[in-house]
Chains A and B, each alone.
With several copies, the nearest count.
Chain A
């Protein structure tokens, strides 16, 4: 499944952007090599158990699936416009996710490593800030808490304006 002879890189058209099953990191990585890509970067966002207050038992992710899938595709397309990528893929988990399991994976491949890192952060930052996907932490004491990762509008005053880490790379 090495994408070849494409004017635009493979945005993993056959990969669903959301998955109710465990993410197959090693399977995706095994397919993410390209003869013109000297650098492959994989990011996996995983469930931690060290919440400062109470221990996390598991997480559950909910999505507005149609909008989330469309947005992830758009983010990958945008990444391919901004960076010279040979491979760009992303998949986010929905449903119950246990400790140390992957909630989201992003793989980028490009001729040189600077772009592979920058594009990878671009994609994950936008997914985390913009995709209509929500995390609910279920704690061992029986309580739960909906996540609030993206509080950008408290800073920017605009639900459409986000503060991204990846912009630090662009100086």
Chain B
């Protein structure tokens, strides 16, 4: 699946990258990313996840064809 990250997450991950493996839902993806990059774990805890430009819950099932956006807390304006 394709992961897109934004803002401060780009200090920890490439802006867009592929991730393989048997990740059944958003919670599993988040755990995998925190294992790959432990320094990002605190930031990931504050983020929300979106699939097809809609926010999804941790138990949302994901497939290898999905593009998943990781959305930090807003700081616009």
A and B touch in the complex (CB under 8 A): yes
Interface pick from A29-37, A58-66, A76-84? A58-66
Q: Which residues of A contact B8 (CB under 8 A)?
A: 134, 146
Interface residues on B, range: 10 to 19
Q: A134-B6, A134-B7 are in contact. Are A63 and B50 (CB under 8 A)?
A: no
Q: Decide: A150 and B75 in contact? CB cutoff 8 A.
A: yes
Q: Which residues of A contact B75 (CB under 8 A)?
A: 128, 133-135, 146-150
Interface assignment of A132: CB less than 8 Å from any CB of chain B: yes
Minimum C-beta distance from A160 to chain B (A): 8
Q: Which residues of A contact B21 (CB under 8 A)?
A: none
Q: Decide: A134 and B76 in contact? CB cutoff 8 A.
A: yes
The listed residue (B46, B50, B74) touching A131 by CB distance below 8 A is B74
A-B contact pairs, 24 of them (CB 8 A): A63-B76, A64-B4, A67-B50, A67-B53, A67-B69, A68-B76, A103-B76, A127-B76, A127-B77, A129-B74, A132-B6, A132-B71, A133-B76, A134-B72, A134-B75, A134-B76, A135-B75, A135-B76, A136-B7, A149-B73, A149-B74, A152-B73, A153-B46, A153-B73
The residues of B with any CB-CB pair to A shorter than 8 Å are 4, 6-8, 11, 46, 48, 50, 53, 69, 71-77
